[in-house]
Structure 1
Amino acid sequence: MCAPRIVRLAHENAARPSRRALFAAAGLTALAAAAPPARAVPAARGVLDLTHTLGPGLPRWPGTPPFTTVPVAWHAIGGFGQNALAYWEHSGTHLDAPAHRVPGGVTTDALAVADLVAPLVVIDISARAECDPDAALTIDDIENWQIEHGRIPERAFVAVHSGWERHIDDAAAFLNLDAGGVPHAPGVSPDAAAYLVQRCEVVGVGVDTLSLDHALSRDQGAHTAILGAGRYGVEMLANLGAAPASGATVVIGAPKHLGGTGGPCRVLALT
């Protein structure tokens, strides 16, 4: 794992401030004292944040190291604050690029930008998932949504609201391992994933859990159907219960690092 090495290097670099930084420290401390207090910025009307704040306490798959932040520059020494960040690509609210599942698939830097702004469709399976942690989106769920709201627009982004976010502050409950170490959480059935890609021509599919597939899946059929078709996924979405079932636009602030299989992203719904 690279994370411990990154943290160690960050600490070593932090211990060696530049001469220029040291000379500037005294004057900048006085400037900071004179600065007015920061004001809270009100949330913009019509913009809903579908992103969890990335931090070390967020649930993650076993074996994945936590998100780590290490200060490496300070306002009092040099005039600027800066952190070194260490995290695995698939941490927090994050995007799955096709390359995550498909060898040679599209990577984060090659995603079509036109596909990152799309009509937002939210399909609610939370009532079923509350009683059955292994619930999965089905073709019937999709067709019932269309009976009520009309045909899913072409090139839409479909998000599955399971209500699993209620466990976000309890990592053990979010992962939901049974006595045998098997996780249980909702997701998307392979048939429904294929239907969304082939019949609805979606650009991507999102969930409020750790995986596009329901946690019991062993063949990762939803991942294969979605990413294998060159579409993307977004996992661990937030606030889907506050998003309208239809009529909003989603903006996926996708990462763009060379050769990436995915990465944390900022997801906004314009309502």
Structure 2
Amino acid sequence: MCDLCVMNAVKDRLLSRRDLFRSASAAGAGALLGASAAPAVALGASSGQMADMTHVLDENFPTFSNKSTFHLKQRSRFEKVGFNTKEIVVNEHSGTHIDAPLHFSADGASVDEIPVERLIVPLAVIDIRAKAAENADSQLTPDDLKCWTDTHGPFPKGCCVAMNSGWAAHVNTPRFRNADWGGTLHFPGFHVEAVQMLLEEGDDIAGIAVDTLSLDIGPSPDFPTHCAWLPTGRWGLECIANLDQVPHAGATLIVGAPKFKGGTGGPSRVFTLF
């Protein structure tokens, strides 16, 4: 663990609004919703580098059900009317997408109610690729969080904590779902104790992100991480791409979340500056 921390440090040097922030996030609501004149968080300085953290979404993108949840239909053709238009039919939770608090709560904030200050945030990337390569059901644990803070210091105020399990490399293969003979999926995710630690000790963490299909591990029957995290007014990102292209600390994450009224989430264009 300590050797990994050292290696990561060296690599980095080289390279509802009504209820949105109730309970665990109540203390931060006033500052965020009233911060129109100044940034809510301290963003990292950019050297001009950027990375697209979004997978291309098409009808073949992997899903929990193994059935397509995205369809793009041609409605107008240039050769006939002088312009092209297409109609999108999509499940909110398809491709690289955001989970809004409403996804796992009765009356949490919908995706259109997430303040923009919560969508442009510092990024902390935690690398668990080594153990994920050995065990598909590996989880990001409190020990992994501590390893990151031992190397980089406290998590930045209002940041997103992202899990890099290396799973994005499998996106166009059956390995991404990794279903066993009984249909149970197997891929990494956040351990519920890790998100509880972020809620208790983190400085108003805005969101968490994973490079897999779910914030929870694949075989989870009851989604404890979703249940612990989203109802506190925070968001999650699933199926994020290219975490290996950004530093473990110091980048700024920009989440282009959709503004679907009453939506529980939606496909998003996500990128970083560093």
Q: TM-score, normalised by structure 1?
A: 0.81
Which of the pair has the greater relative contact order for Cα pairs under 8 Å at 6+ separation?
2
Q: Contact 2:111/2:261 (CA < 8 Å) preserved in 1?
A: yes
Matched, 1:166 2:157: no
Kindly provide the amino acid, as one letter, of the partner of residue 139 in structure 1: P
Q: Contact 2:99/2:265 (CA < 8 Å) preserved in 1?
A: yes
Kindly provide the amino acid, as one letter, of the partner of residue 108 in structure 2: G
Which of 219, 224, 236 is the aligned partner of 2:222? 219
Q: Contact 2:189/2:210 (CA < 8 Å) preserved in 1?
A: yes
Provide the residue aligned with 1:19 in structure 2. none
CA distance in 1, matches of 2:67, 2:264: 15
Which of 181, 193, 196 is the aligned partner of 2:195? 193
The more displaced of 82-91 and 216-225 is: 216-225
Q: Contact 1:64/1:88 (CA < 8 Å) preserved in 2?
A: no
Kindly provide the amino acid, as one letter, of the partner of residue 248 in structure 1: A
DSSP-derived class of the 2:81 partner: strand
Provide the residue aligned with 1:94 in structure 2. 97
Question: Where do 1:222-237 residues align within 5 Å?
Answer: 222-237=225-240
Residue 64 of structure 1, CA deviation: 4.4
Provide the residue aligned with 1:35 in structure 2. none
Q: Contact 2:50/2:272 (CA < 8 Å) preserved in 1?
A: yes
Q: Alpha-carbon deviations, 1:98-156, whole Å to 9, x = none?
A: 11111111101111110000001100001100000000000010011011111111100
Q: Contact 1:125/1:162 (CA < 8 Å) preserved in 2?
A: yes
Kindly provide the amino acid, as one letter, of the partner of residue 110 in structure 2: T
DSSP-derived class of the 2:61 partner: coil
Q: Contact 1:115/1:203 (CA < 8 Å) preserved in 2?
A: yes
CA distance in 2, matches of 1:54, 1:123: 25
Which of 69, 75, 80 is the aligned partner of 2:78? 75
DSSP-derived class of the 1:76 partner: helix
Which of 230, 244, 247 is the aligned partner of 1:244? 247
Q: Alpha-carbon deviations, 1:213-239, whole Å to 9, x = none?
A: 011222211111210111000000000
DSSP-derived class of the 1:238 partner: coil
Matched, 1:110 2:90: no
Structure 1: unaligned runs, 5 residues or longer: 1-43
Kindly provide the amino acid, as one letter, of the partner of residue 134 in structure 1: D
Taking structure 1 as reference, are residues 168 and 243 closer, same or farther at Cα in structure 2, changes over 3 Å only? same
Segments of 4+ moved more than 6 angstroms: none
DSSP-derived class of the 2:253 partner: strand
Kindly provide the amino acid, as one letter, of the partner of residue 167 in structure 1: H
Structure 2: unaligned runs, 5 residues or longer: 1-46
Kindly provide the amino acid, as one letter, of the partner of residue 186 in structure 2: H
Residue 198 of structure 1, CA deviation: 2.6
Which of 232, 252, 256 is the aligned partner of 1:253? 256
CA distance in 2, matches of 1:228, 1:197: 12
Residue 58 of structure 1, CA deviation: 1.2
Question: Percent identity between the aligned chains?
Answer: 41
CA distance in 2, matches of 1:149, 1:270: 18
DSSP-derived class of the 1:80 partner: coil
Higher-Rg structure is 1
Provide the residue aligned with 1:183 in structure 2. 185
Taking structure 1 as reference, are residues 79 and 198 closer, same or farther at Cα in structure 2, changes over 3 Å only? farther
Q: Contact 1:65/1:88 (CA < 8 Å) preserved in 2?
A: no
Provide the residue aligned with 2:213 in structure 1. 210
DSSP-derived class of the 1:86 partner: strand
Residue 66 of structure 1, CA deviation: 3.4
Q: TM-score, normalised by structure 2?
A: 0.80
Q: Contact 2:62/2:68 (CA < 8 Å) preserved in 1?
A: no
Matched, 1:156 2:146: no
Residue 259 of structure 1, CA deviation: 0.6
